[in-house]
């Protein structure tokens, strides 16, 4: 895990600019995908959304993180503690975090859902969940699984735990860094009812990274968490 205080501000600004460019390119690509679909050519809107997210956001953010590490003259092991010397222990720790995080997020989700009902507000599923449920095609579901189980855990943990949390630790107290990085993780999923559950999950992931000093732990925990949810969508009729 990177030592607090060693991120260079000018390189962080470059990193942020690269991330913003990725978001912009994702929006532009999605616009042209939609134009092509309206003209009767190209791919459907669901697939275009998934591809735009994969190519320009996830792969783009992965590239931005690679540049950030390279420009600091460090290795990924030095920065993120990427060590896989005891895979059984890492996977077991990750599974414990994911299981506890799933229980906590479910309980908080039910509380938020009840509050929404009392306020007379409708709740909806996350966009990726709706895509998975509505699209029965093998290709689209395989793309969603690839994104949810491989790319999203890797990229989001690099960004939110590997970089953002450690950057905030340079300028804020530990509790504030934990809370702010977790809330930002919940906010970027753009899902009102999931804000609190996802923020709680993010807090657990940050604590697991801090304790293990190995980013593989929250990455695999994130994967296990998504795997549990996808499994429920496939096998529990009431969630279908």
Q: Residue 42 — pLDDT band, cuts 50, 70, 90?
A: low
> Model-level pTM greater than 0.85?
yes
Residue 167, pLDDT score: 95
What sign results for the dihedral spanned by CA atoms 196, 202, 203, 204?
positive
Residue 240 has pLDDT above 60, yes or no: no
- Does residue 188 form part of some domain? yes
Taking all residues of the chain, what is their mean pLDDT, rounded to a whole number?
A: 88
Q: Is residue 16 part of a domain?
A: yes
Share of the chain above pLDDT 70, in %: 90
CA–CA distance, 110 with 89 (Å, rounded to integer): 32
Residue 35 covered by a domain = yes
The DSSP secondary-structure symbol of 160 reads I
The 10s digit of each residue's pLDDT in 105-139 is: 999 999 998 888 888 777 666 767 777 767 667 77
Phi, psi of 238 (to 5 degrees): -65, -20
Number of domains into which the chain is organized: 1
Report residue 48's pLDDT band, with 50, 70 and 90 as the boundaries.
Answer: confident
What is the length of the chain?
Answer: 240
Range of the domain at 109: 9-239
- 3 belongs to a structural domain: no
Q: Check pLDDT > 90 for residue 205.
A: yes
* Whole-angstrom distance, CA of residue 193 vs CA of residue 172: 28
In a domain, residue 2? The reply is no
- The predicted pLDDT at position 177 comes to 96
- Range of weakest confidence among 32-41, 49-58, 106-115, 149-158: 32-41
The two tokens of residue 152 are 């999203």
């Amino acid at each position: 895990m990177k030592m607090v205080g060693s991120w260079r501000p000018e390189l962080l600004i470059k990193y942020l600019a690269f991330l913003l460019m990725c978001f912009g390119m994702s929006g532009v690509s999605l616009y042209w995908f939609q134009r092509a679909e309206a003209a009767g050519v190209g791919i459907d809107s669901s697939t275009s959304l998934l591809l735009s997210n994969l190519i320009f956001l996830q792969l783009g953010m992965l590239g931005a993180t690679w540049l950030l590490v390279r420009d600091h003259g460090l290795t990924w092991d030095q920065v993120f503690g990427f060590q896989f010397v005891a895979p059984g222990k890492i996977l077991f720790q990750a599974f414990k975090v994911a299981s506890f995080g799933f229980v906590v997020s479910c309980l908080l989700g039910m509380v938020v859902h009840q509050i929404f009902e009392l306020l007379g507000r409708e709740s909806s599923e996350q966009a990726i969940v709706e895509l998975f449920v509505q699209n029965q095609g093998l290709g689209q579901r395989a793309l969603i699984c690839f994104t949810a189980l491989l790319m999203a855990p890797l990229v989001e943990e690099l960004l939110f735990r590997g970089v953002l949390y450690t950057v905030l630790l340079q300028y804020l107290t530990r509790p504030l860094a934990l809370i702010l990085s977790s809330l930002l993780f919940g906010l970027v999923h753009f899902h009102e009812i999931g804000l609190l559950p996802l923020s709680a999950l993010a807090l657990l992931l940050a604590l697991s990274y801090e304790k293990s000093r190995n980013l593989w732990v929250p990455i695999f925990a994130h994967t296990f968490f998504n795997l549990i949810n996808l499994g429920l969508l496939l096998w529990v009729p009431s969630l279908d």
